[in-house]
Amino acid sequence: MPRIGYARVSTSSQDLDIQKAKLKEAGCEIIRAETGSGASRDNRAELATVLEFLRAGDELVVHRLDRLGRSTRDVLNLVHELDAKGAALRVLEPEVTTAGDMGRMLITVLGMVADMELKFIRDRQRAGIEAAKGTGVYKGRQKRVDDLKIRRLASHGIAKAQIARDLGVSRMTVYRALEARDTEADLETE
């Protein structure tokens, strides 16, 4: 049974070496690795390549289930696709395989845990940002284009959509800059 390993990290500052070593120990002949979010299967070319080349009797091996995906639906769809090809999924930590019915049930539970973990990460991130905003530490991303420049172009009669295209920003950015101008003008007249 050929074993194909898949490793993933979310950011380039993270290291793939531990996952690759565990996959090699597990007997993986081929290991594909990539950097990207596990929230969905979008933009994960290496995973798509692995899935394309898996055949009946092959086994897709991951270090932990959250490396494969953090969405229960994506993980279950993946298991279904593997079943349809006659291939199996093996998770090294904890040791689980979809080769049997009990393994499929455990994969479902682990997928749900990974999904919840992603929700908790997002909640903590949101709470951290709100706390930082409350103390004045978090200001958001630096503006790429000065509002004054947008206002100047608008005062010359250039359409909002054209301003957005010319400056490489969204139309919403243009509207916000012009709305801020209107708010400032209202405050000055009071």
Instruction: Read off the pLDDT of residues 128-174 as tens digits, 9 standing for 90 and up.
Output: 988 888 888 887 777 778 888 899 999 999 999 999 999 988 899 89
- Is 37 one of the annotated active-site residues of the chain? no
Residue written as token pair 């996959």: 23
Measured CA distances, 168 to 85, 149, 155, 173 (Å): 45, 13, 19, 10
Q: Given 10, 13, 40, 170, which residue is catalytic?
A: 10
Alpha carbon distances (Å) from 187 to 144, 150, 180, 183: 26, 20, 11, 6
d(CA 139, CA 136): 7
State percent of the chain over pLDDT 90.
43
What mean pLDDT is reported for the chain?
A: 87
CA-CA distance, 139 to 76, in Å (whole number)? 39
- Rounded to two decimals, what is the model's pTM? 0.63
Kindly report, residue by residue over 18-49, the tens digit of the pLDDT. Answer: 999 999 999 998 999 999 888 888 889 999 99
What is the Cα Rg of the chain in Å?
Answer: 24
Mean pLDDT of 12-16: 90
Task: State residue 189's pLDDT score.
Answer: 54
- The answer to which of 43-47, 103-107, 117-121, 157-161 has the lowest mean pLDDT is 103-107
Query: pLDDT: is 90 or 141 the higher one?
Result: 90
Asked if 8 and 44 touch (Cβ cutoff 8 Å), the reply is yes
Query: Residue 185: pLDDT above 70?
Result: no
